[in-house]
């Protein structure tokens, strides 16, 4: 469904509050990716009151994760309608099941996987301090999200580490300091990204 083009896919992983969204904004500004946030796509379904909206809201409020089929279909739809084939997929895959569903449904593999490594207490503090709190930004739900992150998301991190695709970023410090670790990862792949575009 990439219309014969070769996409350049980056997965962005990290616990709640590790700064994925903040760093993605900087990556988009500097390297021109299309940013797809799994969480934002799900929240958009809730606001638009779609057939999945109410179930998604219940799941998110509980701090649990939404079934892979739903998330991957939303991501695929966004990818299909994009004219830019450099994708930054933020907060995904959340589990081995997510990863396998993505491979099956898109027949694609990430080129880069960024992992924002952050101590739990720093993540909790950031989420609780978020300016406009979300339905899942309370201490009980955050603890659940962290547990799920450890049990479901870390196996995905290990999978990409074994496959040599993982770039671990120390996510403590100011957003600018953290971005100085992120920048060289993309700078090193820039030739490759350009090459893919020239080919089209």
Q: Where on the chain is the footprint of ligand AP5 (CB under 6 A)?
A: 14, 16-22, 38-39, 42, 59-60, 63-66, 71, 91-92, 94, 98, 126-127, 130, 136, 145, 174-175, 178
**How far is 87 from 81, CA to CA, in rounded Å?**
12
183 is in an annotated binding site: no
- Looking at the Cβ atoms of 112 and 142, the one nearer to ligand AP5 is 142
Residue 9 CA to its chain's centroid (Å): 11
* Residue of minimal Cβ distance to ligand AP5: 39
Give 10 or 71: the residue with its C-beta nearer to ligand AP5: 71
Distance of CA 29 to the CA centre of its chain: 17
Alpha carbon distance 155, 160 (integer Å): 9
Using the Cα atoms of residue 142, residue 172, residue 177 and residue 23 in order, give the sign of their dihedral: negative
Shortest spacing between CB 49 and ligand AP5, in angstroms: 17
98 labeled binding residue: yes
Q: Determine the Cα–Cα distance for residues 171 and 23; give it in Å rounded to an integer.
A: 10
Residue 49 assigned as binding residue: no
Please list, in sequence order, all residues whose beta carbon lies within 8 angstroms of the beta carbon of residue 128, skipping any fewer than 6 positions away: 137, 139, 142
In angstroms, give the least distance from the CB of 84 to ligand AP5: 21
Annotated binding site: 17-22, 43, 64-66, 91-94, 98, 130, 134, 145, 173
Annotated binding site for a ribonucleoside 5'-phosphate: 43, 64-66, 91-94, 134, 145
Annotated binding site for CMP: 98
């Amino acid at each position: 469904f990439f219309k014969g083009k070769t996409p350049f896919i980056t997965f962005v992983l990290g616990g709640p509050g590790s700064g994925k969204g903040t760093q993605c904004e900087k990556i988009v500004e500097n390297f021109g990716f299309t940013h797809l946030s799994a969480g934002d796509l799900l929240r958009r379904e809730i606001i638009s009151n779609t057939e999945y909206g109410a179930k998604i809201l219940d799941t998110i409020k509980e701090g649990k994760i939404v079934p892979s089929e739903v998330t991957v279909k939303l991501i695929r739809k966004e990818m299909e309608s994009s004219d830019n084939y450099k994708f930054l997929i933020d907060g995904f895959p959340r589990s081995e099941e997510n990863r396998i569903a993505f491979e099956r449904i898109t027949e694609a593999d990430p080129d880069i996987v960024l992992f924002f490594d952050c101590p739990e207490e720093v993540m909790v503090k950031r989420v609780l301090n978020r300016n406009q709190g979300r339905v899942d930004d309370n201490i009980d739900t955050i603890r659940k999200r962290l547990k799920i992150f450890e049990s479901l998301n870390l196996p995905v991190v290990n999978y990409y580490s074994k496959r040599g695709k993982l770039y671990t970023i120390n996510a403590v410090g100011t957003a600018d300091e953290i971005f100085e670790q992120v920048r060289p990862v993309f700078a090193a792949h820039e030739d490759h990204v350009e090459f893919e575009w020239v080919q089209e």
